[in-house]
């Protein structure tokens, strides 16, 4: 058969899926490698989707999504960030990953460079490769609390640099950028005329008085595109529903691009999303309490075993240093841990070269699974 396009071969394997699918195949493993919220979907969200099908509302929607959903997303962002965004700046997408692909398709041309965090979520690099751009990693260091350093970013800028990806609260790190850091990053982006693609999938989950600050607060010249999702916020991972906050006046320009990718999002899922966003937020409150409790417990357990870790200020992951046992190849060590002890952790190298000797522990499942899985870690 003919050869596949060469750029497809540059897309790296997602090591999170690799270890998780291996664990699922075993059938008896404790899976702490994937960010799958463990709560049942709220009945009113399901009912909204059911009623959509009962009305036989199974037709196309506008490319940008239902007006009611765009308004609901805008209301959430405005309430959280103290802004007054118009709903015309919200573009509904099929989950945050399609949103990331759309954002990069809109801002990056062939050969353009995009700055992506290391450690950072693997699809930042994967998606850049798919749109024929060049991902350039900027390192996040333990000694800086895994916050970006502007001086590091300055050293990476070239005439081909077109955008920077930010992620706070961070997957995999649980780090949350403070206002001064966000402002400095926006000043950097403005100085070099860069797009800012801000992944805010975990915006609902910060702890101990830490505030989530979006770059939108400092976006005076409309260079920020923000990715939101309901996958983590409401545990709707399989429904694939999210939104981009886009610069004003650009929705009509984005429509043809959306048409070429998926046309529009499933209307039943959109109505379910409206239901999630517009009722009292009990799900989020319950989930946040559960994740914070699991975070506290996990930090206690790995600390008692003697593993260093990054205290998680947000999201629902714990970043743990396993250098004392991983032997310089954390990916192989995670597979041995799974084979010998039936517990799956995400290897840090899934998130970039700087993740060597680290693992990501998902805190979003049951407390019992968390305790059992961490009890199986060898003592350093």
pLDDT of residue 30: 97
| 26 plus 107 within the same structural domain | no
CATH code at position 352: 3.90.1150.10
Residues 214 and 286 in one domain: no
- Angle of helix 95-107 relative to helix 123-130, nearest 10 degrees, comes to 50
49 lies in a domain?
yes
Residue 198 inside a domain? The answer is yes
Q: Are 185 and 98 found together in one domain? A: yes
pLDDT digits (tens, 9 = 90+) for 246-288: 999 999 999 999 999 999 999 999 999 999 999 888 999 999 9
Is the CB of residue 166 less than 8 Å from the CB of residue 198?
yes
Domain boundary among 226, 255, 277: 277
Same domain for 116 and 139, yes or no, is yes
This prediction has a pTM of: 0.95
- Domain interval for residue 325: 6-41+282-375
Residues 6+ apart with CB under 8 A from 165: 114, 115, 116, 117, 120, 124, 197, 198, 199
pLDDT digits (tens, 9 = 90+) for 219-247: 999 999 999 999 999 999 999 999 999 99
Q: Is the dihedral of CA 314, 281, 100, 87 positive or negative?
A: negative
Cis omega before residue 34 (within 30°)? no
The CA distance from 1 to 379, in Å, is 51
Tell me whether residue 1 is in a domain.
no
Residue 380 domain flag: no
In a domain, 121, yes or no: yes
**Total domains, the chain:** 2
CATH of the domain at 249: 3.40.640.10
For the chain, give the percent of residues with pLDDT over 70: 100
Q: Are both 165 and 225 inside the same structural domain?
A: yes
Tokens of 37: 């919220």
Neighbours of 249 (CB within 10 A): 10
């Amino acid at each position: 058969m003919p050869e596949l396009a060469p750029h497809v071969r540059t897309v790296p394997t997602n090591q999170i899926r690799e270890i998780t699918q291996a664990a699922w195949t075993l059938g008896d493993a404790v899976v702490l490698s994937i960010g799958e919220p463990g709560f049942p979907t709220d009945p009113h969200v399901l009912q909204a989707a059911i009623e959509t099908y009962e009305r036989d509302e199974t037709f196309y929607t506008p490319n940008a999504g239902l007006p009611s959903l765009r308004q609901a997303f805008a209301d959430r962002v405005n309430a959280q960030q103290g802004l007054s965004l118009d709903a015309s700046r919200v573009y509904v997408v099929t989950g945050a990953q399609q949103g990331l692909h759309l954002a990069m398709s809109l801002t990056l041309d062939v050969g353009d460079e995009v700055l992506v965090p290391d450690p950072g979520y693997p699809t930042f690099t994967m998606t850049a490769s798919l749109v024929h751009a060049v991902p350039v990693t900027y390192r996040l260091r333990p000694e800086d609390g895994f916050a970006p350093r502007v001086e590091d970013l300055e050293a990476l800028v070239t005439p081909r640099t077109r955008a920077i990806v930010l992620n706070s609260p961070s997957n995999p790190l649980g780090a949350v950028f403070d206002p001064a850091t966000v402002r400095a990053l926006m000043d950097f982006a403005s100085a070099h005329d860069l797009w800012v693609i801000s992944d805010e999938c975990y915006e609902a989950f910060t702890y101990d008085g830490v505030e989530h600050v979006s770059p939108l607060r400092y976006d005076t010249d409309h260079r920020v595109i923000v990715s939101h999702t309901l996958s983590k916020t409401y545990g709707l991972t399989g429904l694939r529903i999210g939104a981009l906050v886009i610069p004003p006046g650009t929705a009509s320009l984005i429509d043809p691009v959306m048409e070429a990718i998926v046309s529009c999002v499933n209307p039943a899922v959109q109505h379910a999303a409206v239901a999630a966003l517009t009722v009292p937020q009990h799900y989020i409150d319950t989930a946040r309490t559960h994740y914070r409790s699991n975070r506290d417990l996990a930090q206690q357990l790995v600390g008692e075993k003697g593993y260093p870790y990054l205290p998680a200020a947000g999201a629902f992951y714990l970043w743990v240093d396993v250098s004392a046992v991983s032997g310089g190849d954390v990916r192989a060590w995670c597979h041995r841990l799974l084979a010998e002890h039936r517990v799956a952790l995400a290897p840090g190298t899934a998130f970039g070269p700087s993740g060597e000797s680290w693992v990501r522990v998902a805190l979003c499942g049951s407390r019992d699974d968390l305790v059992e899985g961490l009890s199986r870690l060898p003592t350093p």
